[in-house]
């Protein structure tokens, strides 16, 4: 594997991780939006937000 290929693969991996993080944020937002304001958010919202944060942290480590 050449350094150029490695850089391209690293960039692609980072992009995939960030796409997955955005998807997790979207899921959290969708679930939170259907929850009445007087009710606590379902635990899955926190789970999606935590997953998004972990994916972004991993993407930063790859970069």
> Helix, strand, coil proportions of the chain in percent (round to 5)?
80, 0, 20
- HSE-CB for 18 with a 13 A CA cutoff: 11
> What are the pLDDT digits (tens) for 5-29?
688 899 999 999 999 999 999 999 9
Mean pLDDT value across the chain: 93
Q: Are 21 and 56 in contact (CB under 8 A)?
A: yes
Assign 2 a pLDDT band (cuts: 50, 70, 90): low
For the entire predicted model, the pTM comes to: 0.86
Two structure tokens written together for 14? 């980072």
């Amino acid at each position: 594997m050449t350094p150029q290929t490695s850089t391209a693969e690293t960039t692609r991996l980072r992009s995939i991780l960030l796409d997955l993080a955005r998807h997790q944020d979207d899921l959290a937002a969708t679930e939170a939006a259907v929850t009445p304001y007087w009710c606590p958010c379902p635990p899955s919202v926190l789970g999606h937000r935590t997953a998004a944060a972990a994916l972004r942290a991993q993407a930063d480590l790859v970069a």
